[in-house]
């Protein structure tokens, strides 16, 4: 076993999920590299120190450059807003650090291209980068990919993907960085729509080649946060001033896939009553499958080759030791949850590093998703019926 010192940039929602993975992965999986929770980086010294103590990081820094310059750091995990990704990732790769970067890869195609080029150059030196599309690591999603690859669905004809949340329904909910285009790049489209794009491409093995989209913002102004007041989970409390929302609240688009399938996609943070409803249904000539994050340990399978008397969707509990990732967890039927996908992501990343194999999804794949996001936005902006993603 060889240790690898990790610097985590950001300690909010994603930082917590990643921290949990670093704590758990070495205890459930036989890792080729042992991650050491070395440095936690955040701009607010007090908040960063508190988070480090909570999760077990050895030390803190308030500037990511300090962590990148540290010769003892072997891996940089970027869990900060999208506007920071390109500068941190390129600097870390050039410094010889392996990089795990949260999705979407960047805020623009140009930034994502810079990151993909830097990752390609680093890979030639044995330094690897991976983008964190974590839902690839839901065992049911990975099993769905296996069924498609085995031909169980025949020719893929249609895809339907929905990612529904409601955390912005209250028009007086405060501004956060996720509502600022300069920091986030886009709203529902990049935040959760990117997950739908990557998961569909991952499961089907096809890429979205053309899209036609509509973006809409329901609430254009929100209360600003007063960070001088006691901290909350959102970083402050609402003030009397209001800020401009510069991202989309909902994204709707259709797509033509490389293998001849067509798809419909919806990503919204205004689906009242839906907290984190991510569902994908794929229909083929021989059958259909459906996966749903609200029932993440299950897969629905329709086998159109079965006798007429046996037709119908059947529920498969994806908790057998022979299912993806599951042998390292609990006995059959003892389900796992959201946080486990980050453990699986870390396991795959460290395995790629240790075996000198490019971990998936690569920054090149992240760039391709960024091109799809950009094409949807361009289609919505100018009313184009179809926009190519390449």
Q: What is the 3-state secondary structure (H, E, C) of 291-317?
A: EEHHHCCEEEEEECCCCHHHCCCEEEE
- Give pLDDT, residue 238: 62
Q: Residue 227 pLDDT > 90, yes or no?
A: no
With cut-offs at 50, 70 and 90, classify the pLDDT of residue 237. low
Share of the chain above pLDDT 70, in %: 96
Question: Once rounded to an integer, what is the mean pLDDT over residues 26-37?
Answer: 97
Q: Whole-number mean pLDDT of the chain? A: 95
Q: What is the side-by-side order of every strand in the sheet holding 2-9?
A: 59-61, 33-41, 2-9, 73-78, 98-102, 129-132
pLDDT in tens, 115-161: 999 999 999 999 999 999 999 999 999 999 999 999 999 999 999 99
- Give pLDDT, residue 343: 98
pLDDT in tens, 180-200: 999 999 999 999 999 999 999
Q: Residue 289 pLDDT > 80, yes or no?
A: yes
- The pTM of this model reads 0.95
With cut-offs at 50, 70 and 90, classify the pLDDT of residue 103. very high
Instruction: Give CA–CA dist 211/378, Å, rounded.
Output: 10
Share of the chain above pLDDT 90, in %: 94
pLDDT in tens, 296-347: 999 999 999 999 999 999 999 999 999 999 999 999 999 999 999 999 999 9
Question: Once rounded to an integer, what is the mean pLDDT over residues 101-114?
Answer: 97
- Give pLDDT, residue 233: 42
Domains of the chain are: 2-135 (3.40.50.720), 136-359+369-382 (3.30.360.10)
């Amino acid at each position: 076993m060889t240790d690898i010192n990790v610097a985590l940039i950001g300690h909010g929602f994603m930082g917590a999920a990643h921290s949990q993975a670093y704590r758990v992965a070495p205890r459930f999986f036989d890792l080729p590299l042992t991650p050491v929770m070395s440095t936690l980086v955040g701009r607010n010294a007090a908040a960063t120190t508190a988070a480090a103590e909570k999760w077990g990081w050895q030390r803190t820094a308030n500037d990511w450059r300090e962590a990148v310059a540290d010769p003892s750091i072997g891996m940089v995990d970027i869990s900060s807003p999208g506007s920071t990704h390109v500068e941190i990732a390129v600097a870390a790769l050039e410094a010889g650090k392996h990089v795990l970067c949260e999705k979407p890869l960047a805020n623009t195609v140009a930034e994502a291209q810079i990151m993909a080029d830097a990752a390609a150059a680093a890979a030639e030196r044995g330094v690897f980068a991976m983008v964190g599309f974590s839902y690839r690591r839901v065992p049911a999603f990975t099993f769905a990919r296996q069924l498609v690859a085995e031909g169980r669905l025949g020719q893929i004809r249609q895809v339907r993907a929905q990612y529904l949340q409601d955390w912005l329904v209250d028009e007086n909910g405060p501004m956060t960085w996720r509502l600022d285009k300069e920091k986030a790049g886009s709203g529902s489209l990049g935040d959760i729509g990117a997950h739908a794009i990557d998961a569909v491409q991952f499961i089907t093995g096809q890429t979205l080649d053309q899209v036609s989209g509509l973006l809409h913002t329901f609430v254009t102004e929100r209360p600003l946060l007063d960070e001088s007041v006691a901290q909350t989970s959102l970083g402050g409390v609402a003030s009397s001033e209001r800020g401009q929302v510069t991202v989309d609240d909902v994204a709707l688009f259709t797509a033509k896939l490389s293998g001849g399938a067509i798809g419909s996609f919806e990503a919204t943070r205004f689906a009242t009553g839906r907290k984190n409803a991510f569902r994908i249904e794929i229909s083929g000539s021989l059958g259909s499958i459906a996966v749903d994050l609200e029932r993440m340990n299950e897969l629905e399978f329709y086998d159109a080759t079965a006798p007429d008397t046996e037709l119908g969707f059947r529920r498969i509990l994806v908790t057998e030791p022979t299912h993806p990732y599951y042998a390292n967890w609990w006995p059959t039927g003892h389900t796992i949850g959201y946080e486990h996908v980050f453990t699986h992501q870390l396991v795959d990343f460290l395995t790629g590093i240790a075996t000198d194999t490019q971990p998936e999804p690569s920054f090149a794949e992240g760039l391709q998703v960024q091109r799809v996001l950009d094409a949807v936005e361009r289609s919505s902006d100018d009313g184009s019926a179809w926009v190519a993603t390449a």
